Amino acid sequence: MPVNSSEITPEKVYKKRRSLIAAGLGVLALPLLDRGYGLLQQKQEEKNLPFARVALEPSRQNQPLEPTPYETVTGYNNYYEFGYNKDDPAKADKSLITSPWSVEIGGEGADKPGIYDIEEIKGEHAIENHLYRFRCVEAWSMVIPWNGIKLAEVIKAAAPNSKAKFVRFTTLNDPQQMPNADWAGGPYVEGLTIDEAMNPLTLLATGIYDKPLEQQNGAPIRLVVPWKYGFKYAKSIVKIELVEQMPQNTWWLQNKREYGFYANVNPRFDHPRWTQATERIIGKLGRKPTLLYNGYAEEVAHMYPDLDNRLYFY
């Protein structure tokens, strides 16, 4: 069932809700912001600029990124098909058969559908290295050196037509290979708009730290969308479809009030149960302020010109 436009929060309701939240949470959240965050400047910006354009914080955005150690990236994971605790996926038996592995590319928006072996995909497209911030919706973060292919290259090869408005990702769901395969009642599914999928930041990752992806990180191929919360990064992908209707995504199906389709990182819009203004850096003490679009506003804000309410929700 595609998402019905009546489920989109009307702008007026959203704005009213936002000011109520801002008034209420301002008091709670302010002590969490460190002095460098520039509270005065932030207030000034709020008065003068459209919401989506504030808080770019170039000084912080340009700080050198410190990669999270390999052992941490591969030891603290969310991959519920292998268990609910953060160390379950790393401890699980290596039961996923990652070779051979094929990915089906199709949907009504693809004029050249096909089923490709992962080695074929890797051989046809350049593997790039990108050090990206990673921000989970649970308010923790890492910095990860990914190796991967631009998703745009794979989509272009499928000859998208005018029906290609969204991209739907389906992941492996096999109880023989995954001890908790059925946790969501079906395969983990995710989606992007076609513009988001074609954005040069968006990757199909095949490795981390120049090593092939470990099972717990979504071997052999997973999505990377650095300006979005981590639940968008579907792991162990088996199907990519170019479609006309907005796809459903697993976390929205789990809890529609808490997890939206867009899920863009937004320090101004709290999760209903916790603040998104700051984040815990895994492996370090303390918290740091969260950046709008996770620090990638320059590359992605143009995709959301009138979509304040889609920074987090639909």
Based on CB atoms, which residue is closest to ligand MTE, 218 or 226?
218
Based on CB atoms, which residue is closest to ligand MTE, 158 or 223?
223
Distance from C-alpha of 140 to C-alpha of 138, rounded to nearest angstrom: 6
CB of 42 to ligand MTE, least distance (A): 27
Hey, what are 220's tokens? 């052999």
The verdict on 141 binding ligand MTE (CB under 6 A) reads no
The verdict on 264 binding ligand MTE (CB under 6 A) reads no
CB of 30 to ligand MTE, least distance (A): 27
Based on CB atoms, which residue is closest to ligand MTE, 214 or 308?
214
Q: Which of 29, 37, 57, 77 binds ligand MTE (CB under 6 A)?
A: 77
Q: What angle do CA 260, 239, 217 make, to 5 degrees?
A: 70
Long-range contacts of 247-255 (CB under 8 A, 24+ apart): 247/2, 247/166, 247/167, 247/168, 247/189, 247/190, 247/191, 248/1, 248/2, 248/3, 248/189, 248/191, 249/189, 249/190, 249/191, 250/184, 250/188, 250/189, 250/190, 251/137, 253/184, 254/184
Hey, what are 12's tokens? 């007026």
Based on CB atoms, which residue is closest to ligand MTE, 83 or 267?
83
Q: Which of 79, 166, 259, 313 binds ligand MTE (CB under 6 A)?
A: 79
Q: Which of 227, 233, 269, 293 binds ligand MTE (CB under 6 A)?
A: 233
Amino acid at 159: A
CB of 205 to ligand MTE, least distance (A): 9
Distance from C-alpha of 253 to C-alpha of 239, rounded to nearest angstrom: 19
The verdict on 92 binding ligand MTE (CB under 6 A) reads no
Return phi, psi of residue 248, to 5°.
-80, 155
Residue 4's Cβ-side half-sphere holds a number of Cα atoms within 13 Å equal to 4
Based on CB atoms, which residue is closest to ligand MTE, 141 or 278?
141
Q: Report CA Rg, the chain.
A: 19
Bridge partners, residue 141, by sequence: 135, 281
Q: Which of 90, 110, 136, 303 binds ligand MTE (CB under 6 A)?
A: 136
Give the number of residues written for the chain.
Answer: 314
Using the CB atoms, write b or e for 128-153: b if 16+ within 10 Å: eebebbbbbbbbbbbbbbbbbbbbbe
Q: Which of 68, 78, 266, 290 binds ligand MTE (CB under 6 A)?
A: 78
Q: State the binding string over 180-219 for ligand MTE (x if CB under 6 A, else -).
A: --------x----------------------------xx-
Q: Which of 68, 141, 147, 171 binds ligand MTE (CB under 6 A)?
A: 171
Q: Which stretch binds ligand MTE (CB under 6 A): 56-64, 71-79, 104-112, 304-312?
A: 71-79
Binding site for ligand MTE (CB under 6 A): 77-81, 136, 171, 188, 217-218, 230-231, 233-236
